[in-house]
Chain A
Amino acid sequence: MSGNSRKKAGFETGRVARERLRNLLISDRLDFGANVMEMLRLDVANAVSNYMEIEERAVEIQINQTITGGENYPVLSASIPIRRVKKLA
Chain B
Amino acid sequence: MSEVIVITSGKGGVGKTTTTANLGCGLALSGKKTVLIDADIGLRNLDVVMGLENRIVYDLVDVIEGSCRLRQALIRDKRFDGLYLLPAAQTRDKDAVTPEQMKKLCKSLRSENFDYILIDCPAGIERGFKNAIAGADKAIVVTTPEVSAVRDADRIIGLLEASGLPTPQLIINRVKIDMIKRGDMLAVEDVSEILAADVLGVVPDDEFVIVASNRGEPAVFSGSGRTAAAYSNIVRRLEGEEVPFMNLEKGYGMFKRLSWSFRKSRPKALRGGF
Contact = CB atoms under 8 A, between A and B. Distances in A.
Interface centre among A13, A14, A22, by most chain B C-beta atoms within 10 angstroms, is A14
A25 interface: yes
Contacts, number: 42
A21 interface: yes
B160 to A, nearest CB: 14
Interface residues of B, number: 18
B154 A28 contact: yes
Interface residues of A, number: 16
A13 B185 CA distance: 7
Contacts of A86: none
Contacts of B154: 25, 28-29
B150 A21 contact: yes
B194 interface: yes
A44 B145 CA distance: 37
Contacts of A25: 151, 154, 194
Interface in B112-164: 145-147, 150-151, 154-155, 158
B151 A13 contact: no
A43 B137 CA distance: 44
A4 B183 CA distance: 11
A18 interface: yes
Interface of A: 6-7, 11-15, 17-18, 20-22, 24-25, 28-29
